[in-house]
Structure 1
Amino acid sequence: MSRIAVAVVWICALLSSASHAMDSASAAYLAARDKAIAEINSSHLSDAELDQKNKEALQQLQGMMQGIVGPIHLAGFPTNGTYSVETLFQELGFGGLDGIAVNSFDGKARAVVTTVPLLQVWLRDTPDLLKHPPKRGTADFGEAFASEDFHSMAVGDDDVHFYKYAELPVFQGVGLARAMLYVPAQDDPAPASPEGVLVAVMKGDKVVLFRKLLVAPAIPECAAAFAEDSKKALAREAAYAAARARNDPSASDVDWYGQASNAFIRCYARRLPGTAAYPALVREAQTLVDLVN
């Protein structure tokens, strides 16, 4: 599902949401956010007036969110950040995870910090994102943290999807952590190698989602297999086009190239642990997990 489609579903659920058992600051934030979204998207003001109203609402909500999250204590990151919600308009960029975003001092990583109650509300109000959204009162976010769709929607860029290549084994003793290598792309990403790591950590009532650039190895065997598979895919697509031109009723429209790309990603995940670079990648991901105290 595209980010825009998810956002439309999200706002429909959002505006009819019931109250939640949570701290008063979070409840007040959600009420203010819902009110601002409703007013901005039903207003008949001019574009300039709406832009100003959106800007003022975002500033107010950022202050409220900063009060909920508090100072950020992540080594290598500033203690204060910016509101992670881009816009309150129903447009591209709408529907991101409620939190505070900070960029690392070296420019290689970004983190979004939120809380368990706010994440539970966000997941509940984004119903098509997960097969089994966590129920209120639970703290099992394992499916979300391991989902490329979750990271794409929660901390992604407007026009790309985060394709999950391989999970990395990480550990959070008293909480939960997941890590994966990914490629940001608009279409099937093969045969590109991963460009970064996504790490999700829950500890106590805090949730931190990291994105960090890194260098992952190419795996020639997977690239070679993909080259063969993509040739076959192009031939099958050409045959399908020819059959359609003949009005052949047996013509079957199959995403052959997508299947080749998926096979490449499965190959990458299977062979990655055997590469010399693998231990360093795991350490890189674990280092991010260990930042959350």
Structure 2
Amino acid sequence: MAKTASLALLLAFTPLAATAATPEEAYISLRDRSTAKLRKLEAAGKAAGAAEAEEQKTLKELGEKMEAIIGPVSVPGFQKLGKYSIETLFDGVGADQLDGLAFSGDDDKSQLTVSTQSLAEAFLRAHRKNWLKGEKPPQSLGEALPSPYFYTLAVSPDAGVEKYADLPIAKPAAATLATALLDLRSQDDAGGTLPDEIIVAVASEGRLYIASTPAKAKIESAPACEKIWSEHQAKAKKAMDSYSASGLADEKDFEKYSKLQEEGSSAFRHCFAEHAKSEKFFAALTQEAQALADKLAATKR
């Protein structure tokens, strides 16, 4: 009889154990419920006062849950005390970023965001429908990491990430994924501006590390790339002059100008990527990225 009762008790609790939410699932549930409630108030013009107080209280609770999920983080070159990566639950800059903890670099320029692979995958699923037009939405984290748009969404709320070249690092032994790219962050079209930053992403032991740091090697442009940019600029100037002459009335001229600027910027980056591979600075940049990837992969949970 005792055996039968014990078995019945075990069977009664088994479904509960099997369906218990993971810490990440519980976090996402709270975040989504709170965000939906607050944005409904915001849409109704009731975002001030009590709603703001509730937002701050919820951000604190979510931050504490995130600290428990991520655990202690100690990466040389970065502060040990991180902050919750989501800055607001209302609609705006700092909202809807990759869930995790953000750490400042000791140099006050580098940045590190630490998330989990499951949170990053949930982030991707949530953004597939509004992915960058013309780019196939990534179906996995491995497909997402080479995309500059992923980093724009995940860690760069106030500027777009423009990729100039992939840096061919070797995957550290402790990592399941590792990607590095040379980039520039810009609020407008980057034009013929040279890149100045390295972004490295490493997945290891269930965590996802995304670090950015200023490029140390001196980066130079090839004359051929400067020529391409200058030619597009000359054509764009003609379109803008024509637009100005029309009293800013001929929208076709402005559209032509914008298209030429975009095409010139893209052509410059493509040219840079092709020529940079044979330059000494490219090897130096790859070494910088490799050192950072190795450091991230060596971080223990």
1:258 aligns with 2:262: yes
Q: How many residues of Structure 1 are paired with residues of Structure 2 in the alignment?
A: 266
User: What is the match of residue 188 of structure 1?
Assistant: 189
Cα gap change, 1:31 to 1:171, in 2 (>3 Å): same
Instruction: Check conservation: 1:169, 1:179, Cα contact below 8 A.
Output: yes
Cα gap change, 1:114 to 1:228, in 2 (>3 Å): same
What CA distance in whole angstroms lies between the structure 2 residues aligned with 1:153 and 1:236?
32
User: What is the match of residue 228 of structure 1?
Assistant: 231
1:42 aligns with 2:40: yes
User: What is the match of residue 217 of structure 1?
Assistant: 219
Deviation at 1:203, TM superposition (A): 1.6
Deviation at 1:251, TM superposition (A): 8.2
Q: Which amino acid is 1:93 matched to?
A: G
Tell me which protein shows more helix as a share of its residues: 2
Deviation at 1:284, TM superposition (A): 0.8
What CA distance in whole angstroms lies between the structure 1 residues aligned with 2:260 and 2:274?
21
User: What is the match of residue 94 of structure 2?
Assistant: 93
What CA distance in whole angstroms lies between the structure 2 residues aligned with 1:251 and 1:63?
53
Q: Which amino acid is 2:33 matched to?
A: K
* TM-score between the two structures when normalised by the length of structure 1: 0.82
Unaligned runs of 5+ in 1: 1-20, 135-139
Deviation at 1:80, TM superposition (A): 2.9
Cα gap change, 1:100 to 1:251, in 2 (>3 Å): closer
Q: Which amino acid is 1:29 matched to?
A: Y
Instruction: Give per-residue Cα distances to partners, 1:163-216, cap 9 Å, x unaligned.
Output: 111110112234111111111112221221112111111123110111111244
Deviation at 1:223, TM superposition (A): 2.0
Cα gap change, 1:246 to 1:24, in 2 (>3 Å): closer
What CA distance in whole angstroms lies between the structure 2 residues aligned with 1:22 and 1:126?
26
Secondary structure of 2:261 counterpart: helix
What CA distance in whole angstroms lies between the structure 2 residues aligned with 1:54 and 1:194?
37
* TM-score between the two structures when normalised by the length of structure 2: 0.80
Instruction: Check conservation: 1:123, 1:129, Cα contact below 8 A.
Output: no
Further displaced range: 94-103 or 169-178: 169-178
User: What is the match of residue 26 of structure 1?
Assistant: 24
Instruction: Check conservation: 2:167, 2:289, Cα contact below 8 A.
Output: yes
Instruction: Check conservation: 1:72, 1:78, Cα contact below 8 A.
Output: no
Percentage of identical aligned residues: 29
1:149 aligns with 2:149: yes
Deviation at 1:225, TM superposition (A): 2.8
Cα gap change, 1:278 to 1:53, in 2 (>3 Å): same
Cα gap change, 1:245 to 1:63, in 2 (>3 Å): closer
1:274-293 aligned within 5 A: 274-291=278-295, 292-293=297-298
Cα gap change, 1:53 to 1:239, in 2 (>3 Å): same
| Structure 1 runs of 4+ with >6 Å offset | 240-247
Deviation at 1:58, TM superposition (A): 0.8
Query: Which entry has the higher C-alpha Rg, 1 or 2?
Result: 2
Unaligned runs of 5+ in 2: 1-18
Instruction: Check conservation: 1:58, 1:87, Cα contact below 8 A.
Output: yes
Cα gap change, 1:93 to 1:204, in 2 (>3 Å): same
User: What is the match of residue 17 of structure 1?
Assistant: none
